[in-house]
Structure 1
Amino acid sequence: MKRRNFIAAAAAGSAGIVTTSSIAQTQKKNKDFELKNNINHSVCQWCFNHLPLEEFLQTLNSLGIKAIDLIGPEDWPLLKKYGIHCSMCNGAEISLTEGWNDPKYHEELIKNYTEIIPKVAEAGYTNLICFSGNRRGINDYVGLQNCVDGLSKIMPLAEKHGVVVQMELFNQVNHPDYMCDSSIWGVELCKHLGSNNFKLLFDIYHMQIQEGDIIRSIQNYHPYFGHYHTAGVPGRHEIDETQELYYPAIMKAILDTGFGGYVAQEFIVTWEDKIGALKDAFLRCDV
């Protein structure tokens, strides 16, 4: 073989070895993060806002995660670009503290939700978050009836468009005075409204702090739970061995109810490798 041909052939062979090695490394990396997807995985974007949204969506695509939580209408086109579903929409609420339990906010809330519900449906999404608001001296029974009075005005529209309005449960440590702070109160609100288009967003972190007995609550009240959030207790950090909840058992309990919605990671990352922490959380919940 002439020297020139030999060098060309050798270079081609070396390139082949590098390419094969690269493919093998990629395959190994992907194999290390291979999901069963019995759980519909999602993640709350605000916990990873160190990354621009577009970059984060690209990361989710690389992981095979197809949903994200708490994104409003202005960013839905970007989600569409990357084929990422908005598993919990926001943008109609006033704030966490000003909600449906106080009639003075009803006019604004009814206007907001009336405008956004059709947009959620048009975008191909289903879930839209809402909040009870703080008590501010309002009795829990009165506040519940106020929520019924206000939400009843938007439920026919939600039903017409197939949108599920979901009220999030919070604890009193992080959100002092918030009214929807127990499964029982939330379930009573669901029963009073009597619509399949109103559910509770059961935040496992919040309810572990507020009432505990997470698996029993899931077993007893799962028909009223339309969505789940995760985080470690204490501290709202990673869901690894540093905290008191065992998420594989919780996820199994959720699956055993026949739940077909989304479970979204919502923990504040402490690891230096933030995406590594997210991958770890997905794998722990992928039962």
Structure 2
Amino acid sequence: MQRRNFIATAAIGTAGLAASKVTANIDGNNKDFELKNNISHSVCRWCFDDIPWDDFLATLNKLGIKALDLTGPEDWPLMKKYGIHASMCWGAEISLVEGWNDPKNHEVLIKNYTEMIPKVADAGYTNLICFSGNRNGMNDYVGLENCVAGLSKIMPFAEKHNVVIQMELFNQVNHPDYMCDSSLWGVELCRRLGSDNFKLLFDIYHMQIQEGDIIRTIKKYHQYFGHYHTAGVPGRNEIDETQELYYPAIMKAIIDTGYEGYVAQEFIATWDDKIEALKDAFLRCDV
């Protein structure tokens, strides 16, 4: 397929018509699906939730993908049946817009997280997501202090159970008014909490839109990043030549930091065969 034709087809796909591609093609060369596994691969369930749950887990099993992101206790029994690890758990948050930056949420959040942390630990998992919440006119410094005050109440409990609480970074295009929209703000929160059990979920898609300079940021602040998400920019679609990021270089930078955690695909597939799109993404990241 010629590049200009492929770009045109993908553009149609983002307008609501499915783009078509049926083989994993890396730099113009078809490759068999065989992973080096220098990266621990995962995928966010919600991006493929139109595929029957059992079928999707069985497919991941066949591909040798051992983890899924953004799952809760109701998902874990079936995942264990297929030998799939929960690489990023959820279920304790209130919502994306109601988070730790607002003290009125603290009572509910502390209750939710103190109940969920033992469930995560007992299931054999480590990572549990959290969110800052929206500003709603609040100053970022005030929100930072509020997050520290609230999260400090649960961090000893998380440390006791060896669970890592991870706050996700979002951009202002997809999540207007969300407070944790800056690597620097998130890093300062990590520093103030001072716990190895609090990290940032560095979403490459979000941070490319919000601030760019992805590789330099990873190199400088990697010790505060406990997890990574991917997607193509713009559009949150495939991470192929239709978008602006070069993921093999980003993955090499992540490996060079000594990172041993998971990188989860979080793109919305436009190809007719979504599993082929997912395979392609895994191969591009498998440096």
Same fold (TM over 0.5): yes
Aligned to 1:21: none
Distance 2:53 2:176 in 1: 30
- The letter for the 2-side match of 1:149 is A
- CA distances 1:193-234 after superposition (whole Å, capped 9, x unpaired): 000000000000000000000000000000000000000001
- Structure 2: any 5+ residue segments left out of the alignment? 1-30
**Alignment size in residue pairs:** 257
Q: Is the 8 A contact 1:166 1:199 kept in 2?
A: yes
RMSD, aligned CA: 0.6
Aligned to 1:214: 214
1:170 shift after superposition: 0.1
1:53 shift after superposition: 1.8
Q: Is the 8 A contact 1:45 1:53 kept in 2?
A: no
Aligned to 2:18: none
1:1-287, aligned counterparts within 5 Å? 32-287=32-287
- CA distances 1:51-72 after superposition (whole Å, capped 9, x unpaired): 1222111110010000000000
Q: Is the 8 A contact 1:39 1:286 kept in 2?
A: yes
Q: Name the structure where helix makes up a greater proportion of residues.
A: 1
- The letter for the 2-side match of 1:244 is E
1:164 shift after superposition: 0.2
Distance 1:165 1:56 in 2: 27
Distance 1:74 1:111 in 2: 19
- CA distances 1:62-91 after superposition (whole Å, capped 9, x unpaired): 100000000001111111111000000000
Q: Greater relative contact order: 1 or 2 (C-alpha under 8 angstroms, separation 6 or more)?
A: 2
Distance 2:54 2:146 in 1: 39
- The letter for the 1-side match of 2:201 is L
Q: Secondary structure at the match of 1:74?
A: coil
% of aligned pairs identical? 84
- The letter for the 2-side match of 1:210 is Q
Q: Secondary structure at the match of 2:75?
A: helix
Distance 2:168 2:150 in 1: 16
Q: Secondary structure at the match of 1:92?
A: coil
**TM-score normalised to the size of structure 2?**
0.89
Q: Which runs of 4+ in 1 moved over 2 A?
A: none
Distance 1:120 1:132 in 2: 21
Aligned to 1:3: none
**TM-score normalised to the size of structure 1?**
0.89
